[in-house]
Structure 1
Amino acid sequence: MKKTSTTLKERAAMATSVSAQNPFKYTTIAHSGHHYCSPLSAGIAATLLAALQLQAGSLVLDAGCGKAGLLRDLLASQPVCGVGVDINPAFLAEAANAWDASNPGDGRLTLIASQLEQHPLPAGGYDAILCVGSTHALGGFEPSLALCRQWLKPGGVLLVGEGYWKRPPSNEYLLTLGATEDELSSHAENIARALAQGFKLRLAMASSDEEWDRYEHMYCQAVMQYAASHPHDPDTVAFGERARRWYQNYLAFGRSTLGFGHYLLEKPRISRA
């Protein structure tokens, strides 16, 4: 399995950006209306967070948190503390503002601008880790599983979100993504790879077509709205064309080909080194 440093979507998006000074510009615009930067609905998110079964005071890492939407939801619903780590300053600023506005004076959320592997780890490890749509930040699915397992306390849980092929991708779709078929596997193989890393499977769910449709529609619309309202931005033409092409290929190929799985995994209390 190839290691990837960016998601398939981000890789294709960055290739169109002429804004060398802000490599996060396109993805920040495209996700401007999203609470979660992945195909996830509020209802399914609530189900996944409840399944974590955390104790009061648990410490949770959101690895590659983006806007930390899932982490903020967790802290709002459970008496736990959270650490969100990301390298996009715009996403972190939005997360901080949203949390402070809804929870003034609540210091349970810490946001850190850092590469994941360079952020300060707690001495005792984490009780839970969220890594949804961000395994690329740790070198890919299997490397992220291995590292998160090291960072978890015995009995800790990992909620990881990862893409998979619903069916073998066409060459045309792979060309659009700038990807190769071996960069993803199947939903079942994702689970098998997690088990091979020594985790126990608590729950596995896949994003629905409706969740994908909403995510991709909002993604495209946000870019098109930005382009219409910023006609003098030198990135506007490239960004608008990229968004149109991406959405066309989503409808033609991606909707039936690319899946997204959520895997809730437990590190055994007595586990291998």
Structure 2
Amino acid sequence: MDLPRSFTIRESSHRIHNPFTSEKLATLGRALRLAPDTSMLDLACGTGEMLCTWARDHRVSGLGVDISSVFIAAARARADELDVANRVTFVHGDASGYVADEPAGIASCVGATWIGGGVAGTVELLRRSITPDGMMLIGEPYWRREPPDQATVEGCYGIGQDDWLPLPELIESFGQLGCDVVELLLADQDSWDRYEAAKWLNIRRWLDANPHDELAGEMRAELDTAPARHVRYQREYLGWGVFVLMNR
């Protein structure tokens, strides 16, 4: 049980595994007006930057779960680095179906709604881990512009145009799930660039160090095509944001 090695290669330098910068992550933490000792469950937590920095800045406590052993090791190291290991715990495991032992003030899945089979299933999963007045954080792509063809859809990580919704329809869908949207923060094109472009240097450095690895051909092909794909498709057509929800 682990992420494909190609994933951890391309995001090896990332502390945030989505199109947020550290500044945007900090802005989101402030926007939530977090009380000290707020408990938090972060599903598909990656390298734990949200939990660790919010534990440092807002004194939250909590648990992160991720399927990547590499990311969990990095999350634990980050907790030690920020001196918050007494406030946060990281577990290597499948976040799909994971429910907190005790209800938390915040339950999040920021950028991995596949764990619940999509937004609706992930909202239902997070609901099982929050207090009655708790908040759910969902990170999800949306269409900035209507994709004109299937090539654009596939260039934006998608299989079909219905994989994602335009932003107004996405917001409305949360209401249909019985949620109030109480806050949001959106990535912008610059933060998309930081997320995507950092992958290219990670791949190049890895290729230089591992020219004969069995993944070298796959990673070389990705580096050959990813920059143009990003500026042609992802940067122009795909948005991304974190949406903060409370049960009605």
Deviation at 1:155, TM superposition (A): 0.9
Q: Equivalents in 1 of 2:52, 2:192: separation in Å? A: 22
Matched position secondary structure for 1:158: strand
Residue in 1 aligned with 2:22? Answer: 42
Tell me the amino acid that sits aligned with residue 190 of structure 1: L
116 and 67 in structure 1: CA distance in 2 versus 1, 3 angstrom threshold? same
Question: Any unmatched runs of 5+ in structure 1?
Answer: 1-20, 269-273
Equivalent residue, structure 2, for 1:260:
240
**Aligned pairs for 1:166-205 within 5 A:** 166-169=144-147, 170-176=149-155, 177=157, 179-205=159-185
1:146 counterpart (124, 132, 141): 124
The change in CA–CA distance for 1:22 and 1:228 in structure 2 (over 3 A counts) is farther
**Hey, what does 1:5 align to over in structure 2?**
none
Whichever residue aligns with residue 134 of structure 2, its letter is G
From 132, 137, 156, the counterpart of 2:134: 156
Name the residue aligned to 1:251. 231
Q: CA deviation at 1:36?
A: 0.4
* Conserved 8 A contact 2:183-2:244: yes
2:115 paired residue number: 137
What is the CA–CA distance in structure 2 between the aligned matches of 1:120 and 1:39, rounded to whole Å? 26
Choose from 109, 114, 118 the match for 2:88: 109
Which amino acid is 2:172 matched to? A
Distance 1:22 1:129, change over 3 A: closer
Q: Tell which has more relative contact order, 1 or 2 (C-alpha 8 A, sep 6+).
A: 1
Query: For the Cα contact (< 8 Å) 2:99–2:128, is it kept in 1?
Result: no
Taking every aligned residue pair, what percent have the same amino acid on both sides? 26
Matched pairs, number: 246
CA RMSD of aligned residues (A): 1.8
Q: TM-score, normalised by structure 1?
A: 0.84
Q: Which deviates the most, 30-39 or 109-118?
A: 109-118
Shift in alpha-carbon separation, 1:42–1:23, aligned structure 2, 3 A:
closer
1:90 paired to 2:70 = yes
Q: Matched residues in 2 for 1:73 and 1:207: separation?
A: 19
Mind listing any 5+ residue stretches in structure 2 that lack a counterpart? none
CA distance in 2, matches of 1:213, 1:119: 32
Q: What amino acid maps onto 1:132 in structure 2?
A: V
1:217 lines up with 2:197 in the alignment: yes
Residue 242 (structure 1) shift: 1.6
Deviations 1:142-195 (A, max 9, x none): 111122123211110112110011112221123443510011001111111112
Could you tell me how far 1:66 is from its partner in structure 2? 0.7
Question: Residue 58 of structure 1: CA displacement?
Answer: 1.8
Q: Distance in 2 between matches of 1:44 and 1:232?
A: 38
Match of 1:79 among 59, 64, 67: 59
Once residues 200 and 166 of structure 2 are traced to their aligned partners in structure 1, the CA distance between those partners, rounded to angstroms, is 26
Q: 20, 33, 36: which one pairs with 1:53? A: 33
Match of 1:127 among 105, 126, 129: 105
Deviation digits for residues 36-74 of structure 1, max 9, x if unmatched? 000101221111111222332221011100111111111
* Comparing 47-56 and 161-170, the one that deviates more: 47-56
